[in-house]
């Protein structure tokens, strides 16, 4: 097995922790945009918010791309991604039952 398709829990945990850090900083700056301080530091908070948003999205994309190629994709995962449309249930008339 080559290293490109090898699954490492330690690397996954490290990537997830970095993703969580970006999300926490993104939420922090989003909350700062809704406070009274935004009038004084609007550009600063807006730039930081945009920066962490892009870092968060890039990390999500990286995690999906990296860990999708690990050969642990099963039928279960495939079924999760399909849109499940339940079949229509036939309702019979009450008069026909009696």
Q: Is the pLDDT of residue 77 over 70?
A: no
| Average confidence score pLDDT of the chain | 78
**What confidence tens digit (pLDDT) does each residue in 1-49 have?**
455 556 677 888 889 999 999 999 989 888 888 887 777 888 888 898 8
pTM: 0.59
pLDDT at residue 68, rounded to an integer: 73
If we measure between CA atoms, which residue out of 51, 7, 13 comes closest to residue 30? 51
pLDDT at residue 56, rounded to an integer: 93
pLDDT at residue 13, rounded to an integer: 87
Share of the chain above pLDDT 90, in %: 21
Cα-flanking dihedrals φ and ψ of residue 92, to 5°?
-95, 160
More confident: 60 or 81:
60
More confident: 60 or 36:
60
């Amino acid at each position: 097995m080559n290293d490109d398709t090898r699954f490492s829990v330690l690397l996954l945990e490290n990537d997830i922790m970095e993703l969580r850090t970006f999300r926490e900083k993104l939420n922090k700056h989003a909350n700062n945009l809704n406070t009274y301080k935004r009038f004084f530091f609007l550009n600063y908070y807006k730039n930081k918010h945009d920066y962490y948003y892009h870092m968060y999205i890039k990390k999500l994309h990286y995690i999906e791309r990296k860990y999708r190629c690990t050969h642990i994709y099963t039928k279960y995962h495939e079924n999760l991604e399909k849109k499940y449309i339940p079949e229509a249930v036939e309702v019979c008339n009450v008069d026909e039952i009696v």
